[in-house]
Chain A
Amino acid sequence: MPELERHSFDVLVIGAGGAGLRAAIEAREHGMRTAVLCKSLFGKAHTVMAEGGIAAAMGNVNSSDSWQVHFRDTMRGGKFLNNWRMAELHAQEAPQRVWELETYGALFDRTKDGRISQRNFGGHEYPRLAHVGDRTGLELIRTLQQKIVSLQQEDFKEFGDYEERLRVFQEFTVTDLVKDGDRIAGVFGYWRESGRFVLFEAPAVILATGGIGKSFKVTSNSWEYTGDGHALALRAGASLINMEFIQFHPTGMVWPPSVKGILVTESVRGDGGVLRNSEGKRFMFDYIPEVFKDKYADNEEEGDRWYTDQANNRRPPELLPRDEVARAINSEVKAGRGSPHGGVFLDVSTRLPAEEIRKRLPSMHHQFKELADVDITAQPMEVGPTCHYVMGGVEVDPDTGSSSVAGLYAAGEVSGGMHGSNRLGGNSLSDLLVFGRRAGAGASEYVRALDSRPAVPEETVTEARATALKPFQQEGGENPYTLHMELQQSMNDLVGIIRRQGEMEEALQRLEKLKERAQSLTVEGHQQFNPGWHLALDLRNMLLVSECVAKAALLRTESRGGHTRDDHPSMDAEWRRKLLVCNVDGDRVSVEEKPQIPIRGDLLDLFDRTELEKYLTAEELS
């Protein structure tokens, strides 16, 4: 057996998207020797795909905005299932996190008086999203990447080594968390390039691995989104919450087939784009749900006036929260009023001058021109729902990001609770920054307070290596690509945007069989940059996480946010008080109910009683 490469750090961050990088910056600034481990090249993480902006109540465009209004919008968007403490911290701290990015060198679009410009977005009462055209995610990732480089330059000046206190291990996959008794002791994984194994010893690990979209066929997510952090946490003994809530973004590309699912930013609608069916009708006016009736325009004239006069008009229903819009599109297509390729029309060409579209939505213009031969300044786009985001994730302490396992932290999409049953657009990037920073600080405090560092038990290393090598040692087994495609098809068809009991039961049976077949996967070639092998290992995570999604979705007999039951179409106030918690024992997922912590009184007082009556039980209101 070749010598195992070993490293030792104070804090390990898994994932190099917005949350991971912000966490790493914080840990390093707390004096921790910090490493970032990421599956792709540094700077390529999925955060680059975020388009619309970062939600933060800075009040630059409308001074009536405040953290309280942002908090209210977030809770409404999540249908009050959110962890209210996370929503509170998020709304309070987001502006600081955005301003801080400017000190790192970010260049946001500006208002006339030179401040950061803010745009409208679904579910946000005021223009709130700091943005750079429609490539805000790229700006965020590059800014954080460059901040890390700047910290490394400081270390170079002080120690003559760029990587003295902060090092990035890129194209590296973590396969297992390693524990010493009850607490985290490090991680085990492999270099994607060489396939060589590495052991990292560290008392604290921050998961910032993003989502799970690659378990679904139509998704806006890249290959990285295989639920690694979710599965690592489960196997290490932490619990996941809210896994039944998956956001299907209403507007993904539907044609050509090879780009099906790729995101079309919500900014198209925020900037005036409208949805029409094959009859040319703006159908969203037919889909305003009862709870939002007083907040949205019921006629086109008022909706159109809102873009220029928000004080005296209600917003157009195209800007309802994403779950509502996605369901509406789904219904229109089902009713036979869809576009030729099975979506609906999203049109900005008749709403804004061509020059303005190119300026405000440059990457959408580019994307449609290059990939679909569609000029969005002259033609409508065809769009339909695409699996975009998982609201569920590791159950964490809101203030520190700590999971129930000592030394294990989570931030960003891999954590659960903040967004409740549905995330508002723009709240993801701010979530990454607010809770990335908090997890970095939380992990640092934990390490500082330790009396003794954990030790890695050698047998767990041997075991982790054996698990990772298994696909090479079996002959005549199945191709991981085949299994992956079957998994994606099953999740898409049976646990997708509209769910039914019978279908989910079938999904669980199929998952059982897939799990069995996954035991005997075979990969060809050797360990050096071998995508077949990588997929075989990622499949283990996807299967475990998919089981959580299907089991939790089957149990929740109501419809709320990113969980729509055809057989239980209404929202049930009793269910709002319950979280579904997933744990794993061996390779079995168990799901249990757990009561929600009641919302703090002063936060409840931010809402009208009539609004609370739509969500809370009579008992809670008394």
Chain B
Amino acid sequence: MVYVILIGGLLAGVPIAIAIVAALLYFMATGEAPYTLRIVPTEIFKGLNSFPLLAIPLFVLAGELMNESGITGRIIAFANVLVGRMRAGLALVNIWASVIFAGLSGSAVADTSAIGRVFIPEMEKHGYDRSFAAALTAASSVIGPIIPPSIPVIIYALIVSGVSVPALFLAGVVPGILLAVFLSAYVMLTVKVDHGDQSADLDGPSSTEALLQGILPLLMPVLVVGSILLGIVTPTEAASFAVAYALILGLFVYRKIRLTALPGLFASAMRDSAVILIIIAAVAAANWLLTYNRIPNMLTDWVLANVDSKTAFLLATILLFLFVGLFLEGIAAMLVLVPILHPIAVSMGVDPTHFGILVIFNLMIGLITPPLGLCLFVAEGVAQVGMARLIRSIMPFFLVEVLVLIILTFVPQTVIWLPRVLGY
């Protein structure tokens, strides 16, 4: 019956967090002592009772403020100056705008919707297939949580003790750029129509002006991530500085945000965070029950007895995460699987930072895979081309991302070189 509620509920469209909580409540209500109903609220409260977790609503708020202050346009103009005149320029601008956006936001979904709203119509106007444009937007937006700051990294560091946020932040930089380079190469090789000078059509300021205007927003990730890396502030404090910076830009520098709009922005930031945080809390409650029954220990013993090489383990991990990424929301998957897999990885001699980035990269790919891919949903919402068509368009991008993942897996230096050089 518990599984009926959980799986039936999920399929019937009950929100994931609520389906988990409902199944747990039913289990506790019908279970024998010591199980009792109040364990569920106890564990939900416990799952949310954490200071580092507060970095999530704050980064979400900073992202929304940045968006409202008209910075998406500035980022696009900035990227346009850099790569807009190359072959398939507009597609490249889409990719590299995501790289820059990545430094401002920890969320791929925010990137898909912000950049998609501008680019999907614009690319179509210049002869790109609308569905290709939507697929590219979704595929490149997953760079967001790989390049710091990153909400999945903060959550990963919360789950695994002994892996630091700064180390993971640094470790994500090269993989994020690598992904952008591979996507760019793919786009330049395959786009047949010569879209030539189309970039000039993007309404906007002149090159120098665009570069100058891009600097203020770009300073934010430098300051925020820099201060975390230098060990001056914790991620939560840094997130509050990011909010303050975005507020100053929006209210006084660009003057795009009116004071009266602030309450609405605060409310929607908390609402968007609540959707993530409640999944974290629900899975934390489910995890408590699993731990209490030693399920993770049993799985660990089983894996250690049956998987004997590091390579086999890493490949199995990739396949497992790609598979669960089809169905599970990324953060939920991480919360369930990482506590089990991380100790095994460590005992097999995998670098913890390397493993962390592999897991996060893997789950970010899950954002663009059907049936449950959040970025796919959002891109479809913007493009309105029909899910089936969008899924066909996303396939090549999916393969490119898996290729990058395989490179990251077997060339660990791509991940751990930067944090090592900087002393982490």
A, B in one complex: no
